[in-house]
Structure 1
Amino acid sequence: MKLCIFDDDRIGLAIGQDVVDITDAFATASRPGWPYPKYDWVIKNFESVRPRIDEASETARRIPLASVRLRAPVANPGKIIAAPINYKDHIAEANNDPQINHGKTFTDLSKLGVFLKANSSVIGCHEEIRIPFPDRRTDHEVELAVVIGREAKRVSRENALDFVFGYCIGLDMTVRGPELPDFRKSADTFSVLGPWVVTADEIPDPNSLDLSICVNGKVRQQSNTSYLVYNVQRLIEYASAMYTLYPGDVIMTGTPAGVSPVTYGDVLEASVSGIGTMTARMAAD
């Protein structure tokens, strides 16, 4: 299944060239009260209302996909966990580019750890990416994004995929500079998720997916998740050793070589095999 959020926070399934509105399938799911929980409500309740979703996928209203506005498919992630340097070719690229490394030497993830991005940075692919500091370099980074499906703490890599709800495309936008990455990568609009979440049953091996990004029609990054230094299972094991993971938490798995500057009005087309393609735009000014 391809779960999406569209228009005025409607919940849908992308099927072919349509979106099926399954919002009413969640009518029986209990709404959380104060204090609000640490999880995403739709992801948390998806399995409990699955029979109603299956029924709705056959009978509910269909809308042409081309006519809807896709929001972030995870509306309320409790946290976004990001792997800063998880492809060997990007490690080499970063160490050779002073605008990226700012005097630091990058080794591998075991020395650097992961970092957190603000959930207020999340947008969908039909919203514009804004540049916060016009006088500084802003780069694109295409990544496989992993969406957690149930609470996880200190899970082993052997059963880590049991805790995955699904996968989507992620753009981890970044301002280059000397500051810590959680500052430079948490600006509003700097976590683009989309176009939908493909449920885990449709992607048996997340470590063999092609990913790429084109800017204004020109390929900038192209690789495969088989080149991840810490693969998806190891990332979940590593992150859950430090944090409790909740439904809707997102793990950005890292980006390959080819990161480069973007500017006003650029069009970014990102693809991951098994998920699809999404187009995001830089704001015009």
Structure 2
Amino acid sequence: MKLLTFIENKKYNLGVHTEDGEGILDIAAAAAAFEGAEGVPLTVQEVIEGGLAALDKLRAFVEAVLSSDGHHAFIRPESALTLGPCVTHPNKIICVGLNYRKHAEETNAAIPLYPILFNKFNNTLAGHGEDIPLPKVSSEVDYEAELVIVIGKQAKYVAKEDALSHVFGYCNANDLSARDLQLRTPQWLTGKSCDKFSPLGPYLVTADEVGNPNELSIKCIVNGEVRQGSNTSDMIFNCEEIVSYISQYMTLVPGDIILTGTPEGVVLGKPAEERVYLQPGDVVSIEIEKLGSITNTMVAEG
């Protein structure tokens, strides 16, 4: 199932992508019109926090609506919607640095013995199609295509073998990075946490639909040119290892998101004289197999 968030009347609303390509089913509008909609989750956060019971309830409701004669009244064209981040209220945004072997090599970094963790905050969230302001205080903003793990069940001291059973689903992210700010100190926080530096989406795809997250093609496309082209199989620490490792040190809760690292091809990985960082007007798309593509345009801040 592919879930998304769209913004209407300054509120986040839940939409479900229809498999036949009709468009997006507006869950709140359908629930207001159909009998038997009691308990159907109306936001993506309610689906995640409600676990399997909420997901099953939503699936059954969607099937009932789409099989009804009047369902077209609740289908919205995706292109007409203003999308928000596909996960709206993460308790934690955890990121893994230098987690692709070839990316570590291109930046002349040692292969990590343990996952390198850092964090972002909710101010970095953005949706598909949203403009991303390039901070006035940076001239070196870089793109980073990343697979995101979305936690669906509380996880603490989880074994690798059981880790993926705690995952709700996956989505695309652009882990935008102001390199001049990031590398100013040993801590990367400043360069990673500028406003809207974590566009997520367009869809949150449930784990059953994705299958093995460790064998997905991943791309970053800038102004029509493929800059990053790799596969999640190049990860140094795979998805189950990441979830298990983080759960040894903190309790992961439903809605937490984990950005799993970026492959080779970033601007920072080029020789200094060839580095051209993102500029206003640049259009950046992150595309991961089975997850769709999220596109954002860079604009001057303010």
TM-score, reference length from structure 1? 0.87
Q: Distance in 2 between matches of 1:271 and 1:112?
A: 24
C-alpha spacing 1:213/1:17, structure 2 compared with 1 (3 Å): farther
Task: State the Cα deviation string for residues 213-259 of structure 1 (Å, max 9, x = none).
Answer: 11000110000000100000001011111111011111101001111
Residues 112 and 56 of structure 1: CA distance in aligned 2, closer, same or farther (over 3 Å)? closer
Q: Map 1:38-57 to 2 at 5 A.
A: 40-45=45-50, 47-49=52-54, 50-57=56-63
Match of 2:240 in 1: 233
Q: What amino acid sits opposite 1:219 in the alignment?
A: V
Say if 2:5 is the partner of 1:5.
yes
Rounded to whole Å, the distance in 2 between the matches of 1:30 and 1:192 is 24
CA–CA distance in structure 2, aligned partners of residues 151 and 40 of structure 1: 14
Work out whether residues 22 and 53 of structure 1, in 8 Å CA contact, stay in contact via their aligned partners in 2. Answer: no
Q: 73, 83, 93: which is aligned to 1:80?
A: 93
CA distance in 1, matches of 2:60, 2:106: 46
The aligned runs of 1:141-220 (5 Å cut-off) are 141-177=144-180, 178-179=184-185, 180-220=187-227
Q: Which amino acid aligns with 2:49?
A: K
Task: Provide the C-alpha distance between the structure 1 equivalents of 2:231 and 2:41, rounded to a whole number of angstroms.
Answer: 40
Identical aligned residues as a percent? 37
- What does the per-residue CA deviation read over 1:53-90, in whole Å, with 9 as the maximum and x for residues that have no partner? 42235425111111111110101011111011001111
Return the letter of the residue paired with 1:89: K
Alignment check: 8 A CA contact 1:17 1:66 kept: no
8 Å Cα contact 2:5/2:83 also seen in 1: yes
| One-letter amino acid matched to 1:5 | T
Contact 2:151 2:254 in 1 (8 A): yes
State the match for 1:28 in structure 2. Answer: 39
Distance in structure 2 (CA, Å) of the matches to 1:10 and 1:190: 22
Using the alignment, how far apart are the partners of 1:27 and 1:173 within structure 2?
40
What SS class does the counterpart of residue 97 from structure 2 fall into?
coil
* Residue 112 (structure 1) shift: 6.1
Kept in 2: contact 1:214–1:221 (CA 8 A): yes
* Aligned CA-pair RMSD: 2.2
Task: Indicate the larger mover: 39-48 or 215-224.
Answer: 39-48
Unpaired runs of 5+ in structure 1?
32-38, 96-105
1:264 pairs with one of 265, 280, 300: 280
CA distance in 2, matches of 1:30, 1:172: 29
For 1:138 and 1:27, the matched residues in 2 are separated by 46
Relative to structure 1, the CA distance from residue 63 to residue 40 in structure 2 (aligned partners, 3 Å threshold; closer, same or farther) is closer
Partner letter of residue 45 of structure 1?
G
Residues 189-230 of structure 1 show CA distances to partners (whole Å, capped at 9, x for unaligned) of: 001100111100011100000000110001100000001000
Alpha-carbon distance in 1 for matches of 2:222, 2:22:
25
Contact 1:83 1:109 in 2 (8 A): no
Distance, in Å, in 1 between the alignment partners of 2:106 and 2:81 is 38
The structure with more radius of gyration = 2
TM-score, normalised to structure 2, is: 0.83
**Pair 1:225–1:192, CA change in 2 (3 A):** same
